[in-house]
Amino acid sequence: MLQCENVGLRFKDRILFKNVNIKFDNDYCYGVIGANGAGKSTFLKILAGIIEPTSGNIIKGKHDRISYLVQDHNAYDNDIVLDTVIAGDKELYDIKLEKDAIYLKEDFTEEDGIRAGVLEDLFLKKNGWQAEADAAILLSGLGIDNSLHSLYMKDLKETDKVKVMLARSLFGNPDILLLDEPTNGLDLESKTWLEEFLLDFKNTVIVISHDRHFLNKVCTHMVDIDYEKISMFVGNYDFWLKSSELIQKQMKDSNKKKEDKIKELEDFIRRFSANASKSKQATSRKKALEKIKLDEIKPSSRRYPFIEFVPERLLGKDVIRINKLSCELEGKTLIKNLKLTIDNTDKIALIGNNEQAKTALLELIYNNSNSINYGNTVSISYYPKDNSKYFDKKISMVKWLEQYSIDTDETFIRGFLGRMLFSGEESLKNVDVLSGGEKVRLMLSKMMLEKSNILLLDEPTNHLDMESITSLNKALTLFKGVIIISTYDRELIDTVCNRVLKINDDGTIIDFKSNYNDYLKKYGGENE
């Protein structure tokens, strides 16, 4: 059991939510939804006890253990896979770290000896020596091969990273599992796997997602963050959508009736308040009028950003020629002898099981590899899958975007940010606190200002809410330049792409000069 009692959170003047009184019961699966920046991750961090609410309390069962999978899948990139899992039992991991640090000391004192003894005891009680073996069994059970256990997280593909992070969350046998956008970057097969896993999971799950299909499949309840409120509904996403539309309609209908009544009363009062014989009735109707309260219907915070990519200069005939490009990672071939000519009308869907190969190709094209010839009209913008390195400085959004704009006038930058849904004081916020989707919106703003004629996009829809995905999709269909995109979003591929480039597992390439539907008819393989 997990309960919110009058929980509220504000950052300076901005209220994310207030007076939250909801209860999560055992064994259900709750889907948390809301626009980018609504406060979903913040709410999960409050439930996990990582941040304190500004008001109210979180009450949890005395023995309930909570674990939490973070939104950033690159969060543990510099850790070894097995350690990442063991660290899921924080208490045990902290004991191990402290113990190891004491043994490494050169001036080992008597006090250290006593402390080490205490720690050894605790470690034994928590079955510490068994931990590595347990972690390995858990990983293997989730399909992570033994050969990957000693690698760094950064060398894993995203689907495997999610599985390791899930193993980390499961390691302490949690009663309540909190998951922040676990489906980001997952291909269809891995997403289905995760759905099955959660359907079989016996304890409570609270999961954030923007993926309708996923929410419909796994959730018993929806938790919606909007209008500074958090409301809980029984049912899956589609059920929530229908019932919230119905509630809005009922509120509008009832307001319409009340407005008619108000008008009728006002007319009466106006006509008869000067009339001595009717003035008594006019007074009582005034009282009736005061009692009618209209329901407050706030516009939803779900809005569409304005995304538009306009190239400064159109591409000439000569675009990109790739001649015998090969690439390896740790001795494994990613790309083998790629020969490719890109035309100025190409919108290429980059597909294949090996995410690292797709990312490597986009990076090689962006970074002017030796085996690539570029036409002299070419200008390239790149959306990398991992954008964390762009956001490590504590500077405001306005200052951040200024770096990428020729026009550095603050009014211009603020106006631009406004169209990307960062209004007023919001645009003075530091970039390091931005939500996952807000960071993506800023990266897209940067690309819009660059006015390039080639767009390289590596999983750009991860983190975005449905409205932003719709805006991005529309912008890409209207773009008058070349696109090379790696995405699992089928709609995006179908509406944008006219050529398919598949990187096979051995690094060889299938170059198919038609759309994805035709590709599937010829080669099959929906899961890619």
| Binding residues for ligand ATP (CB under 6 A) | 11, 16, 34, 36-42, 71, 429, 433-438, 463, 465
When CB distances are held under 5 to 8 angstroms depending on the partner's kind, the choice from Mg ion, ligand ATP, none that residue 20 binds is none
When CB distances are held under 5 to 8 angstroms depending on the partner's kind, the choice from Mg ion, ligand ATP, none that residue 175 binds is none
For Mg ion, the closer CB: 8 or 436: 436
For Mg ion, the closer CB: 297 or 433: 433
Radius of gyration of the chain (CA): 28
Contacting residues toward Mg ion, per CB under 5 A: 40-41, 71, 435-436
For residue 63 the two structure tokens come to 């023995």
Closest residue to bound ligand ATP by CB:
437
For Mg ion, the closer CB: 71 or 190: 71
When CB distances are held under 5 to 8 angstroms depending on the partner's kind, the choice from Mg ion, ligand ATP, none that residue 438 binds is ligand ATP
Alpha-helix residue ranges (DSSP H) falling in 142-211? 158-171, 188-200
- For residue 418, the minimal CB distance to ligand ATP (Å) is 15
When CB distances are held under 5 to 8 angstroms depending on the partner's kind, the choice from ligand ATP, Mg ion, none that residue 99 binds is none
407-416 long-range contacts, CB within 8 A, separation 24+:
416/445, 416/448, 416/449
For residue 354 the two structure tokens come to 């090996």
For ligand ATP, the closer CB: 421 or 496: 421
For residue 451 the two structure tokens come to 């006015």
Provide CB contacts within 8 A for 257, sequence distance 6+.
Answer: none
When CB distances are held under 5 to 8 angstroms depending on the partner's kind, the choice from ligand ATP, Mg ion, none that residue 384 binds is none
- What's the rounded Cα separation, in Å, for the pair 24 and 346? 49
User: What does DSSP assign to residue 389?
Assistant: G
Provide CB contacts within 8 A for 330, sequence distance 6+.
Answer: 155
When CB distances are held under 5 to 8 angstroms depending on the partner's kind, the choice from Mg ion, ligand ATP, none that residue 434 binds is ligand ATP
- For residue 20, the minimal CB distance to ligand ATP (Å) is 14
For Mg ion, the closer CB: 51 or 478: 51
When CB distances are held under 5 to 8 angstroms depending on the partner's kind, the choice from Mg ion, ligand ATP, none that residue 38 binds is ligand ATP
For ligand ATP, the closer CB: 460 or 481: 460
Provide CB contacts within 8 A for 327, sequence distance 6+.
Answer: 333, 334, 335, 357, 360, 361, 364, 507
For residue 206 the two structure tokens come to 């609270």
- What's the rounded Cα separation, in Å, for the pair 225 and 232? 9
For residue 29 the two structure tokens come to 């699966």
For Mg ion, the closer CB: 155 or 467: 467
- For residue 222, the minimal CB distance to Mg ion (Å) is 16
Query: Between helices 110-125 and 128-141, what is the axis angle to 10°?
Result: 40
Q: Which three-class secondary structure state does DSSP give residue 18? A: strand
Closest residue to bound Mg ion by CB:
41
Please name the residue that has the structure tokens 């208490």.
91
For ligand ATP, the closer CB: 358 or 463: 463
For residue 392, count CB atoms less than 10 angstroms from its CB and return exposed for 0-12, middle for 13-18, buried for 19 or more. exposed
Q: Decide: 92 and 123 in contact? Cβ < 8 Å.
A: yes
For ligand ATP, the closer CB: 44 or 156: 44
- For residue 42, the minimal CB distance to Mg ion (Å) is 8
- For residue 169, the minimal CB distance to ligand ATP (Å) is 18
Q: Name the phi and psi angles at 486, rounded to 5.
A: -110, 120
When CB distances are held under 5 to 8 angstroms depending on the partner's kind, the choice from Mg ion, ligand ATP, none that residue 39 binds is ligand ATP
Instruction: Provide the residue type at 484 as one letter.
Output: I
- For residue 203, the minimal CB distance to Mg ion (Å) is 23
- For residue 437, the minimal CB distance to ligand ATP (Å) is 3
Q: How far is CA 295 from the centre of its chain?
A: 33
When CB distances are held under 5 to 8 angstroms depending on the partner's kind, the choice from ligand ATP, Mg ion, none that residue 380 binds is none
